[in-house]
A and B are shown apart, each in its own frame.
Chain A
Amino acid sequence: MAQRQFIRGVILALACQLPALAAPPTAAIIGTAPQPAWQALTASQREILAPLAAEWGAMEHVRRKQWLASAARYPSMSETEKQRFQARMNDWARMTPEQRAKVRENYLEINRLPTDEKEAIRKKWSAYKQLPEEKRQGVRENHKSAILLAPPPEPETGTEEATAASDQ
């Protein structure tokens, strides 16, 4: 709980420093001491960071340091968070610095929204991802996202997409 609050605090503090999110500042790169090679990591670090094994050698020291800090945080995560972290780590590492900066920027923007709006977005996403693949595009193109939060419609009045959303 305290950790969550800390992260929220950091997110709020970072909200005013969006340009800093793009690439590591030169001062940070110079000030980062050389980080260990993959073989020099502890067994537990290698296990947590396994999805990054192939990229580790080519990674800048400042990014290695970041991942090692995340590996230290990993044991305090919930099971769901651990699974998400493991599953997303590799794709995240393969993104370009500009893409990562964009994601961080959008994430911070969403976190600045009022709590009810943030919750609404997450609920909509949850409903959307449960739609059958072939229906998703139709819902996006033909409806407002509010349809994803609509109560279960009557069979004769609901659209095909809304029915699919409410079924999830």
Chain B
Amino acid sequence: MNEERQAYRIRQALNHGLQDISPAASRRLEAARHLAVSRQKQPVRQMVAELAAYPAGTPASGGKRDTSVIVRSLLAIVALLSGMWLAFHWHSERYVAEIEAIDSALLTDDLPPEVLLDRDFLEWLKDNSSEE
């Protein structure tokens, strides 16, 4: 409670002083603020640049971060390979099911494979026209 009262008094005193600042001093203060803010932004830009450059370059900071990045990279590779294998496996299952169904059907059909291989004979059988 006492601290709050103290802070209030300080704020009042500072605000009171603002009225006495000349326009020239006010402009200098504004310029100084801009300069301070621009300097504040530089470390942030530098950090972003480091992070962007990291995968191709050498790690800029400690071993702990290196390990976590390597683990993340390995996990990404494992996930990618697993996804690819699942896709291939799905292809295999689908292909085998389709081809097996058709092979079983034609291997048990009235028409044997050797007849189905003889295109001319099949065309002759398919011809519906009757004798002249």
Contact = CB atoms under 8 A, between A and B. Distances in A.
Given A66-B96, A145-B124, A28 B116 contact: no
Interface string B21-50: 000000000000000000000000000000
Interface residues of A, number: 57
A29 to B, nearest CB: 8
B54 interface: no
A146 B93 CA distance: 43
Given A28-B88, A31-B90, A145-B125, A88 B96 contact: no
A130 interface: no
Interface string B90-103: 11111111111111
Contacts of A84: 107-109, 112
B71 to A, nearest CB: 27
Interface in A79-114: 80-81, 84-85, 88-89, 91-92, 95, 99-100, 102-104, 106-108, 110, 113
Nearest to B97: A69
Contacts of B87: 27, 31
A14 B105 CA distance: 13
A122 B111 contact: yes
Contact of A117 (B102, B104, B114, B126): B126
A92 B127 CA distance: 27
B52 interface: no
Contact of A65 (B96, B121, B127): B96
A14 B102 contact: yes
A110 B121 CA distance: 13
Nearest to B86: A31
Contacts of A144: 127, 129-131
A85 B90 CA distance: 27
Given A7-B104, A30-B88, A125-B110, A140 B98 contact: no
B59 interface: no
Counting chain B CB atoms within 10 Å of each CB, the highest count among A108, A121, A126 belongs to A121
Contacts of A32: 89, 92, 96
Contacts of A53: none
A11 to B, nearest CB: 6
Given A27-B91, A62-B95, A106 B130 contact: no
B116 A106 contact: yes
Nearest to B93: A31
9 contacts: A28-B91, A30-B88, A33-B89, A62-B92, A69-B97, A88-B112, A108-B102, A113-B126, A128-B125
